[in-house]
Amino acid sequence: MRQITFTEAINEALRQEMERDPSVILIGEDIGVYGGAFGVTKGLIEKFGSDRVIDTPISEAGFIGAAVGAALAGLRPVVELMFVDFFGVAMDQIYNQMAKLRYMSGGQLKVPLTLRAPIGAGISAAAQHSQTLYSIFAHVPGLKVVVPSTPHDAKGLLISSIRDDNPVVFLEHKVLYGIKGEVPEEEYTIPLGKAEIRREGDDVTVIGIARTVWHSLEAAEQLSKESISVEVIDVRSIVPFDKETVIKSVKKTGRVVIVDEDYDRCGFASWVSSIIADEAFEYLDAPIKRITTPNVPIPFSPPLEQYILPDSKKIVNTVKSILG
């Protein structure tokens, strides 16, 4: 099977959905002629024109609000927020309008809107362009939150998100844009809310999301050389969350490490820890461990940035600490 990059997989998903469904439109800053800050929408304005690939002013509240209106009127907008860090200037449109209107209308209104945004640190983009923040969106009822880790999943999950009649926040780790993987040429969907076991194991479960899945797989490979068998779970979406796959794995291994690039306080890792403590406590042979980003702004300095982020070395050391 052919291999393409994460960026190319997202671009292909957008193109195929726009070809299939004339109600799909793209909205965002520099997504037209420039092709997006990370090149994700390159070539789409030439194919579909400026009526369907809409460059906007620098006004996140304006164009996300316009996208909500377009969704209510029957279109399927895909909005690009240039960096997830910029969500604050449009938060009312996201959590009071986009997230709540279907509920407030008693289901009479649909809001088929996909909000795409790059997330994550690792390229020295400093404190205002390097955050992860998926936990904030997951906290808001009415939003689905999807975070792929591979080109294959990026395409299939994005197509599913666009076709969903509910608002979906689709988050793309910017360090993953260049990775390659096998991706079918035809269109396909991946169900939202279904985790993937990336590597099977018996001694410890390691749960990752986005870039931390790759750190987890690297750590698992290193640990295998010491006869330690690690099961790696890629959650793929936070809302809906595949609790069953996680609990089944923890019951099998008896040990779990959750690896999360988001901030530690009130984060994804803490929430998953609480689920495991509630539903699989009696199966645990060691304390639940979390590897997260400390509650500090992301540094610009490359050494400091790498120091605070989860990585394979931290995973290896943590796994060994609970195996005794």
Residue 173 has pLDDT above 90, yes or no: yes
Residue matched to tokens 């809107």: 113
Instruction: Please confirm, yes or no, whether 129 is among the known catalytic residues.
Output: yes
Among the listed residues 227, 203, 224, the one whose alpha carbon sits nearest the alpha carbon of residue 312: 224
Give the pLDDT score at 132: 95
Residue 324 has pLDDT above 90, yes or no: no
d(CA 164, CA 161): 5
Residue from 129, 152, 173, 215 carrying the catalytic annotation? 129
Percent of the chain beyond pLDDT 70?
Answer: 100
Span 243-255, pLDDT tens digits:
999 999 999 999 9
Q: State mean pLDDT over 38-51.
A: 97
Predicted confidence band of residue 318 (pLDDT cuts 50, 70, 90)? very high
310 preceded by a cis bond (ω within 30 of 0): no
Check if the beta carbon of residue 172 is closer than 8 Å to that of residue 118. Answer: yes
Q: Interior CA angle at 80 toward 142 and 162, to 5°?
A: 55
Predicted confidence band of residue 110 (pLDDT cuts 50, 70, 90)? very high
Q: State mean pLDDT over 280-298.
A: 97
Residue 306 has pLDDT above 90, yes or no: yes
Predicted confidence band of residue 270 (pLDDT cuts 50, 70, 90)? very high
Give the pLDDT score at 40: 97
Q: How confident is the prediction for the chain on average, in pLDDT?
A: 97
Instruction: Please confirm, yes or no, whether 173 is among the known catalytic residues.
Output: no
The pTM of the full predicted model, rounded to 2 decimals, is: 0.96
Residue 282 has pLDDT above 90, yes or no: yes
Percent of the chain beyond pLDDT 90?
Answer: 99
Q: Domain coordinates of the chain in residue numbers?
A: 3-182, 196-323
Q: State mean pLDDT over 166-176.
A: 98
Check if the beta carbon of residue 210 is closer than 8 Å to that of residue 120. Answer: yes
* All residues at 6 or more sequence positions from 50 whose CB lies less than 8 Å from its CB, including other chains: 32
Give the pLDDT score at 271: 97
The partner residues of 181 in beta bridges, in order of sequence, read 4
Residue from 12, 29, 60, 305 carrying the catalytic annotation? 60
196-323 has CATH 3.40.50.970 classification: no
For the structural domain made of 3-182, what CATH number should be given? 3.40.50.970
Give the pLDDT score at 200: 98
Span 174-229, pLDDT tens digits:
999 999 999 999 999 999 999 999 999 999 999 999 999 999 999 999 999 999 99
Give the pLDDT score at 1: 84
Residue 89 has pLDDT above 90, yes or no: yes
What single DSSP character describes residue 132? Answer: -
Give the pLDDT score at 220: 98
Overall size of the chain counted in residues:
324
Residue 64 has pLDDT above 90, yes or no: yes
Give a three-class secondary structure readout of 283-311: HCCCCCEEEEECCCCCCCCHHHHHHHCCC
Domains 3-182 and 196-323 share a fold: yes
